[in-house]
């Protein structure tokens, strides 16, 4: 009888100890409950407790109903247990401290969000979790993988990007809001960013307490990470960036000291694993998903470090130029949306390409036409003008209207084919081979920033206009006899 009571005391003591440790430390909870959903043994790496600690720091303020200090962004490669930690384990641990917590979990697709939610629910329904927290009970009438509710009033809802109405959360975790395969899609980027800005931001129980936690791979210059940083108030964002290989992108910088052999995780993300993924993803996909930067280390499509900045030959002395042109890519929304861009480009007698001037702005149609006309007068009538005609009858009418306003100038209406990336290919060859020069001017930085990230850049108007200008400069006129046809019989 005494032996039995002693065993009971030991068992009770161990129970209280494990329960207490797991409640106090999210990372300890992850280690203890790993086997409830994953059959493989837990593999330690420093970034896992680090991410756990960052999530716990955010959660502690919610538990205490204190104003949040910041929203949290974590950029980390695929295959680094990010979703298991942030979307599966984290909400289960939250209920050990705050069973009334309401949790909104999102991903780019509803199926993915629901799968993460299901795994979260599997932990809570496990015998181990019930043993330590028997008071956390999921209601039988509200027990779906996309939404489940406990008897304390807490719930977990799973939604894909673009979804959710009627629910408000104590915690909002956004786990990969865009599909890596669709990262270059302007429509998907815009959808994700607008949804996070205008919809998800309103789904908070308390705007001052509820944190937004974004955990994802960097995929584009205008992906939700960049958008969230750009939209933050007074920079109240904590940004953690953990590329697979050590680089200047590591944030905070002191974390570089934790990299071993220049790798974030030598076991999960070994050099061989990284090489294999680079072959599969290509330089852009790999740079974003594993390097946490949308541009490859050696530069993207355009190697901007090979551009030379010089004073050009006299622009008005046409003996020094083979051809010059001003090319316009038009937009028509004042103060928002895409930019209207007019680039002046030239090919000199030494066959060097020059970017001579860039006019860029978000103007309404009236202001835009005024600027196009004034720019033409500044350039002079010796400089031909090309107007890109957008698809459809509206694009045709807009181009024709501009042509009428430019009576007296040589005007070309250009109907480009192919996507923006393919159109920029021939221009990139000249840039990357050091045959592209740029006039030093105030517009250089914005232009170079767009060129550096292209085709993953936030805006593409300057490069698209440059591609159009370049195509016009290199267009070969078909003159009789030039095709090698003998006209004499």
pLDDT of residue 480: 30
Residues 265 and 316 in one domain: no
Residues 310 and 240 in one domain: no
Last residue of a domain, one of 289, 312, 343: 289
Residue 132 domain boundaries: 23-289
CB-count burial class (<10 Å; 0-12, 13-18, 19+) for 258: middle
Average pLDDT over residues 170-187: 85
pLDDT of residue 9: 55
b (16+ CB within 10 A) / e for 332-355: beeeeebbbbbbbbbbbeeebbbb
pLDDT in tens, 131-148: 999 999 999 999 898 999
Do the domain assignments include residue 297? no
Average pLDDT over residues 181-203: 85
Last residue of a domain, one of 237, 265, 289: 289
Residues 27 and 87 in one domain: yes
pLDDT in tens, 240-277: 999 999 999 999 999 999 999 999 999 999 999 999 99
**Domain count within the chain:** 2
pLDDT in tens, 214-223: 999 998 888 9
Residues 177 and 310 in one domain: no
Do the domain assignments include residue 399? yes
Average pLDDT over residues 181-193: 80
Average pLDDT over residues 375-384: 95
Total-model pTM: 0.76
pLDDT of residue 455: 86
Strands 171-175 and 212-216: parallel
pLDDT of residue 1: 40
pLDDT of residue 6: 53
Do the domain assignments include residue 98? yes
Do the domain assignments include residue 103? yes
pLDDT of residue 479: 31
User: Which helix (H) or strand (E) segment is 393 a member of?
Assistant: helix 392-405
Residues 75 and 114 in one domain: yes
Q: Are 360 and 462 in contact (CB under 8 A)?
A: yes
Do the domain assignments include residue 243? yes
Mean confidence (pLDDT) of the chain: 90
DSSP states along 336-364: SSSPEEEEEEEEETT--EEEEEEEEE---
| CATH number of domain containing 48 | 3.40.50.300
What the block records as the tokens of 257 is 């000291």
Residues 92 and 165 in one domain: yes
Residues 129 and 41 in one domain: yes
What the block records as the tokens of 165 is 């109405």
Residues 360 and 465 in one domain: yes
Least confident of 153-157, 236-240, 319-323, 479-483: 479-483
Q: Distance between CA 46 and CA 44 in Å, rounded?
A: 7
What the block records as the tokens of 29 is 């909870």
φ/ψ of 312, rounded to 5, equals -80, 170
Q: Could you tell me the pLDDT band of residue 5, with boundaries at 50, 70 and 90? A: low
Last residue of a domain, one of 258, 289, 320: 289
Residues 339 and 251 in one domain: no
Query: CB within 8 A of 412, min separation 6: which ones?
Result: 384, 385, 386, 387, 472
With a pLDDT cut of 70, the percent of the chain lying above it is 93
Do the domain assignments include residue 7? no
| CATH number of domain containing 363 | 3.30.420.280
C-alpha distance across the termini of the chain, in Å? 121
Q: Choose between 62 and 482: higher pLDDT.
A: 62
Q: Distance between CA 350 and CA 379 in Å, rounded?
A: 22
Do the domain assignments include residue 16? no
Q: Where are the beta strands (DSSP E) in 144-231?
A: 147-150, 155-160, 171-175, 212-216
Has residue 199 got a pLDDT over 60?
A: yes
Selection from 387, 339, 385, 327 nearest residue 363 by Cα: 339
Residues 145 and 29 in one domain: yes
Most confident segment among 87-96, 164-173, 224-233, 455-464: 87-96
Q: Are 215 and 175 in contact (CB under 8 A)?
A: yes
Has residue 486 got a pLDDT over 60?
A: no
Q: Could you tell me the pLDDT band of residue 439, with boundaries at 50, 70 and 90? A: very high
Q: Could you tell me the pLDDT band of residue 468, with boundaries at 50, 70 and 90? A: very high
Has residue 7 got a pLDDT over 70?
A: no
Q: Are 22 and 96 in contact (CB under 8 A)?
A: yes
Residues 403 and 468 in one domain: yes
Do the domain assignments include residue 402? yes
Q: Choose between 272 and 394: higher pLDDT.
A: 272
Residues 271 and 320 in one domain: no
pLDDT of residue 187: 80
pLDDT in tens, 279-306: 888 888 888 999 998 877 766 789 999 9
Q: Are 387 and 403 in contact (CB under 8 A)?
A: yes
Q: Where are the beta strands (DSSP E) in 78-208?
A: 102-107, 138-143, 147-150, 155-160, 171-175
């Amino acid at each position: 009888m005494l032996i039995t009571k002693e065993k009971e005391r030991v068992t009770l003591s161990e129970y209280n100890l494990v329960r207490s440790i797991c409640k106090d430390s999210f990372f300890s909870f992850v280690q203890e409950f790993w086997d409830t959903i994953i059959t493989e043994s837990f593999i330690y790496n420093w970034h896992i407790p680090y991410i756990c600690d960052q999530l716990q720091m955010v959660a502690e303020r919610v538990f205490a109903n204190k104003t949040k200090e910041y929203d949290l962004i974590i950029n980390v490669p695929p295959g680094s247990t990010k979703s298991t930690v942030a979307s599966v384990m984290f909400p289960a641990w939250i209920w050990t401290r705050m069973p009334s917590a309401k949790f909104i979990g999102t991903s780019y697709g509803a199926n993915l969000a629901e799968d993460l939610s299901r795994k979260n629910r599997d932990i809570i329904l496990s015998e181990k979790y019930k043993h330590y927290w028997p008071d956390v009970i999921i209601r039988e009438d509200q027990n779906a993988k996309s939404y489940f509710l406990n008897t304390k009033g807490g719930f977990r809802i799973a939604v894909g990007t673009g979804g959710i109405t009627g629910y408000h959360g104590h915690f909002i975790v956004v786990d990969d809001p865009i599909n890596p395969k669709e990262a270059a899609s302007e429509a998907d980027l815009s959808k994700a960013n607008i949804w996070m800005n205008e919809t998800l931001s309103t789904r908070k129980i308390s705007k001052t307490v509820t944190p937004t936690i974004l955990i994802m791979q960097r995929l584009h210059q205008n992906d939700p990470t960049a958008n969230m940083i750009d939209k933050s108030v007074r920079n109240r964002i904590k940004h953690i960036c953990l590329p697979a290989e050590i680089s200047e992108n590591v944030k905070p910088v002191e974390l570089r000291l934790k990299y071993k052999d220049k790798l974030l995780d030598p076991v999960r993300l070994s050099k061989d694993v990284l090489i294999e993924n680079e072959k599969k993803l290509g330089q852009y996909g790999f740079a974003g998903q594993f390097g946490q930067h949308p541009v490859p280390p050696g530069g993207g499509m355009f190697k901007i470090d090979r551009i030379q900045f010089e004073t050009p030959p006299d622009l008005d002395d046409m003996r020094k130029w083979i051809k010059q042109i001003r090319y316009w890519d038009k937009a028509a929304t004042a103060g928002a949306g895409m930019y209207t861009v007019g680039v002046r480009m030239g090919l000199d007698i030494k066959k060097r390409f020059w970017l001579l001037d860039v006019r860029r702005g978000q103007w309404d149609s009236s202001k835009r036409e005024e600027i196009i006309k004034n720019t033409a007068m500044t350039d002079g009538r010796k400089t031909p003008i090309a107007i890109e005609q957008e698809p459809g009858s509206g694009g045709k009418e807009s181009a024709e209207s501009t042509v009428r306003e430019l009576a007296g100038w040589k005007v070309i209406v250009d109907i480009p084919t192919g996507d923006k990336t393919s159109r920029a290919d021939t221009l990139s060859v000249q840039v990357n081979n050091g045959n592209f020069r740029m006039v030093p001017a105030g517009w250089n930085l914005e232009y170079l920033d767009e060129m550096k990230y292209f085709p993953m850049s936030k805006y593409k108007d300057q490069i698209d206009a440059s591609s159009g200008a370049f195509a016009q400069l290199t267009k070969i006129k078909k003159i009789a006899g030039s095709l090698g046809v003998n006209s004499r019989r």
